[in-house]
Amino acid sequence: MKVLITGAQGQLGQDVTSICGQAGLEVTSCSRAELDITDEDQCLQVVTGHRPDCIIHCAAYTAVDAAESDLDGAFRVNAIGTRNVAMAAERVGCKLVYISTDYVFNGHSDKPYQEYDLVDPQTVYGKSKYAGEQIVRDFCTRWFIVRTSWVFGIHGSNFVKTMLRLGQEKPLLQVVHDQKGSPTYTVDLARFLVNLISTEKYGIYHASNSGSCTWFEFTEAIFTEAKKELNLTITAKLEPCTTEQFPRPAKRPSNSVMEHLAIRVNDLEELPHWKDGLRRFMLEMKQQPDLYL
């Protein structure tokens, strides 16, 4: 299978590229410099030139807070850029995987969100990503929409790396304890995507590592694993705080946990527990210490 990956230099894109290669797929990795998804003509030229069997669309505007004051920028990438990729995919008749987010929901539910629950995005980022979902469904015949959450990986910046740095620098670290979600290791998500594209089981999927926690509980686990696997000295005293104590431009959902209904009913393999993903992430960092701070 020939796979084209957009946003291939991003946090998820780099692991998707690696896992696809390990699976023996013929991979075309496109960085932003090689494929600007906001350029309609370039999208069509690149996709028709390579004629992939599947596009895994990792390129996205993911700066949640910045999007609140950059509505045009967020929609230009997440909506119009996705339209350009979707039109090109349909032109060559290939499958399209669109990576979406838990932010399409309002975060108020007291239960995990199912794939078919009503969406209600509360932020510019969430609204722009949902616009991308709608475009994929409208423009493509063979599509997978994969919503994920709390992503961390060896490449780029993420919550785990930030907490490791702050844990070694700060005497006191306050982390919110009233927002719940499911951390997702990019390697596990990439493996799920590789398995998914080998099927014809199109539709919407929630794909995060199993289990859930608060950001505070996640940080506790990060520090525990860092001391055990990396022998790091964590100086920060960890304290829980509320969302109100840590205001941000974009509203954060209090509940980001997503149920994996579509994975189960389509007889696909669940992603491992987030604690297992975190442990393997730490082991990966141990092998590449220059990448984790």
- The whole-angstrom distance between residue 4's C-alpha and the CA centroid of its chain comes to 18
Contact present, 255 and 107 (Cβ < 8 Å): yes
pLDDT of residue 288: 79
pLDDT digits (tens, 9 = 90+) for 28-86: 999 999 999 999 999 999 999 999 999 999 999 999 999 999 999 999 999 999 999 99
Q: What domains are there in the chain, each with its CATH number?
A: 2-158+182-211+256-272 (3.40.50.720)
Is residue 99 within 8 A of residue 60, CB to CB? The reply is: yes
The candidate with the shortest Cα–Cα distance to 265, out of 115, 113, 141, 146, is: 115
What is the C-alpha to C-alpha distance for residues 27 and 91, in angstroms, rounded to an integer?
19
One-letter amino acid of 74: A
At residue 291, the pLDDT reads: 59
Q: Are strands 203-206 and 143-148 parallel, antiparallel or unpaired?
A: parallel
Please, are residues 136 and 257 in contact by the beta-carbon 8 Å criterion? no
For tokens 């990060």, what's the residue? Answer: 222
Q: What is the pLDDT of residue 292?
A: 54
Q: Cα(283)–Cα(229) distance, rounded to whole angstroms?
A: 7
Say how far apart CA 129 and CA 73 lie, in whole Å: 12
Show pLDDT as tens, one digit a residue, over the chain (293 residues): 999 999 999 999 999 999 999 999 999 999 999 999 999 999 999 999 999 999 999 999 999 999 999 999 999 999 999 999 999 999 999 999 999 999 999 999 999 999 999 999 999 999 999 999 999 999 999 999 999 999 999 998 999 999 999 999 999 999 999 999 999 999 999 999 999 999 999 999 999 999 999 999 999 999 999 999 888 899 999 999 999 988 899 999 999 999 999 999 999 999 999 999 999 999 999 887 765 55
Closest CA to 55 of 134, 133, 144: 144
As beta bridge partners, residue 95 has 54
Return the closest-CA partner of residue 257 out of 221, 217, 211, 293. Answer: 211
What pLDDT, on a 0 to 100 scale, did the predictor assign at position 287?
Answer: 87
| Strand ranges for the chain from DSSP E | 2-6, 26-30, 54-57, 95-101, 143-148, 151-152, 172-176, 180-181, 184-185, 203-206, 213-214, 237-241
**DSSP 8-state code for residue 230:** I
Q: What gap in Å lies between CA 57 and CA 148, rounded to an integer?
A: 13
What pLDDT was estimated at residue 290?
A: 67
Q: Provide the token pair at 280.
A: 């393997």
CB 176 within 8 A of CB 242: yes
d(CA 20, CA 9): 14
Which residues are identified as catalytic? 125
Q: In terms of DSSP H, where are the helices of 28-143?
A: 40-50, 64-67, 71-75, 82-92, 124-139
